[in-house]
Structure formats: structure tokens, C-alpha cells
Amino acid sequence: MVKFRRELERLRKLFVLLATHKMGVAGLIMIGTFAVMAIFAPYLRTVDPNITGLPGNILQPPSSQFWFGTDNLGRDIWSQIIYGTRISLTVGISTAIVTVLFGSMVGIIAGFRGGRVGEVFMRVVDFFMMIPALPLMIALAVILGPSIWNIVLVVSLVYWPTTARIVRSQTLSLRERAFVEASRSIGATDFSLMFGEILPNVLPIMFAQAVVMVAYAIGSEAVLAFLGLGDPMTISWGMMLHFAFESGVMSRATWWMVPPVICIAVLILAFTFLGTAVSDIMKPGYREARGL
């Protein structure tokens, strides 16, 4: 437990360092804005995004009543955007947690145990990395059926090998270090070595990987929803674009397309910025170069 607290302290220092990185700060501000939108969605002059309007409200351009206009079923686009933030962040963060936890577990076991277990794990990882990700996600999602949790499952299934590979290579070098040898010599079990000694040391990398995964997952959700694999009752940004694209009135209703495209782009860039910042500040020499 003491070790974990020390690691948490290290994560806290990471955030302090992040405040010195321009891209990191920009990313955090953008993510914070979206998080506020998601949390306070009901109070931001929204209505139920699924409620279809009166016939007179169909495809209304932006106005004081409908800030972003309405879609071809008279639904309020502003509300869809705000509530869509919840879906993107939920999918992004849950996928990141699942992939990073599962990937790291596989990576640590494969790296620590080595031998035949490691070999088999890495074969599986190689297999997943050789198959084109998007077609695989489509083939899985179409079978599993439309729901955001299925999308989380599908995206996690496709992306965990990246984390597994990175964590494994870290584990391979950590396992030879003196402190692991020391613990082993006083009778530590493999289990406690893996999760008591190795895990705390790969936490920073897991964190960096998780940030990147959020961006991947948000992008993948948008793509899958755009391709018609989302749940029509949970309107995400990708789903909005799908509806607009399929409606056949795309050329008359640009106000319908622009907000979701911008939101997807900004949120993904925010996490990409944060990811770049995190990997930058974890590079050796960053602190020294800034005199910290």
C-alpha cells in the first residue's frame, strides 16, 4: 500500500509538471470544458435529444429557440451535441480503462513469466496487430448489435494488444532490476512481484497509454456510429453525422453537420495534446531542461 501511495504521489507530480507544458494545459482546458458540458447537460437549456418536434420544427436553421437548429425529425441539435458529450466521454474513458487494465495485465504476465506463456500471449498480440482494425471492429460490431457497451467491448478487443506490447517490453527490463531481485531473495511470490513491484513502476506508462486510448476510442466510436453501427436511441456525435448523411438533405442543412464534426475533432485533439504532453514530460531530461 505504501508503494501505491508513493506512486500516486508520482502521478500528482506528473500533473504539476503537466501545468508547465503548453499542449498539456490546452488539452486539459478543452477536456475540462467538455466534462462540464457532460456533467451539467440537463441545466444547459437542453431538452430530451430523442424528442421529435412538431412538423413545423423540422430542419429549422439555428435560431434563438433552437441554438443549433433542428434535424429532419425536429430534434434539437444543441441538446444532441450536449448529451453527445456524455456518450463520447463515457465510451472513451471506459474503453481506455478496459484496454489499459487488460493490456497491462497481459503485458506484465507475458513479460514477467516469459517462456511459453509469454510466447503464446505475444502470438495473440501479433495476430490482432496484423489484422486491419477498422474492418475487424465493423465485423464484430455488426454481429454484437447496436449498443454503446458493445462498442466499448469491440474497441477494447481491438486495441488492448498495443498496451500489452508496450507494458511487456517495460516489464522485460524491470524484471532484471536489482529491487526485483532483492524482493525475490527475501521470498516474494511471483504474484506479489508482478503486482507489488512491477505494476507500480509501469503505472506512468499505463497512464500515458490510457490518455492516448481515450482519443482512439472516441474516434472509433464516431467512425462506427457514422457507419451505422451505433444505437439509434443513444444519439452520439457520430450517430448525428450518420443521420445527417443518410437523410439526403445534407446539402440543405449544413448546421446539422458542422457542430458534431467540430466537437469530434476538438475532443480528440484535446486528448491527443494531453497524450503528447504526458509522453513528453515522462521523457528523461524534461524536468532538468525546465529547471524543475
Partner 1 sequence: MSLRGFVSFAIGKISGAIITIFAIICFNFVLFRMIPGDPVRLMFRDPRVPLEAWELARERFGLTGTLWEQFIAYLNRLFLHGDLGTSFWRGKPVLEVVAARIPNTLWLIILSIILAIIIGTILGAICGWRAGTKLDTSIVAIALSMWSLPGFCIGLIFLLIFAIRLGIFPLGGLYTPASGLSGLAYLRDVLWHAFLPVCTLIIWYMGEYLILMRGAMVDVVGQDYITTARAKGLKESTILKNHALRNAILPVVTLAGISLAYAVAGVVQIETVFGWPGVGRLMYEAVMNRDYPLVQGVFLVLAVAVVMANLIVDLIYGYIDPRIKIGRSA
Residues lying near partner 1 in the complex (CB under 8 A) are found at 126-127, 130-136, 138-140, 142-143, 145, 215, 219-220, 222-223, 226-229, 241, 245, 250-251, 254, 257-258, 261, 264-265, 268-269, 272
How many CB atoms within 10 Å of residue 166? 18
CB of 218 to partner 1, least distance (A): 9
Give the whole-angstrom CA distance, residue 42 versus residue 230: 23
Q: Which is nearer to partner 1, 4 or 127 (CB)?
A: 127
End-to-end CA distance of the chain: 28
How many CB atoms within 10 Å of residue 17? 19
CB of 282 to partner 1, least distance (A): 19
Q: Which is nearer to partner 1, 104 or 272 (CB)?
A: 272
CB of 39 to partner 1, least distance (A): 25
Whose CA is closest to 245, among 254, 236, 232? 254
CB of 171 to partner 1, least distance (A): 21
Give the whole-angstrom CA distance, residue 102 versus residue 100: 6
CB of 268 to partner 1, least distance (A): 6
Supply the DSSP symbol for 66. Answer: S
Alpha helices in the chain (DSSP H): 2-18, 22-39, 77-113, 115-130, 133-144, 148-174, 178-185, 190-192, 199-226, 237-247, 254-282, 286-289
In Å, how far are 49, 103, 109 from 122, measured between CA atoms? Answer: 44, 11, 11
Q: Which is nearer to partner 1, 49 or 259 (CB)?
A: 259
Tell me the three cell numbers of residue 147: 449498443
Q: Which is nearer to partner 1, 143 or 186 (CB)?
A: 143
9 phi/psi in degrees, rounded to 5: -60, -40
CB of 85 to partner 1, least distance (A): 16
Q: Which secondary-structure segment (H or E) carries 96? A: helix 77-113
| Cβ–Cβ < 8 Å for 92, 243 | no
Q: Which is nearer to partner 1, 193 or 238 (CB)?
A: 238
- The SS3 of residue 76 is strand
Q: Which is nearer to partner 1, 198 or 224 (CB)?
A: 224
CB of 211 to partner 1, least distance (A): 12
Q: Which is nearer to partner 1, 159 or 202 (CB)?
A: 159
Tell me the three cell numbers of residue 289: 531542461
Q: Which is nearer to partner 1, 178 or 289 (CB)?
A: 289
Supply the DSSP symbol for 61. Answer: P
CB of 186 to partner 1, least distance (A): 36
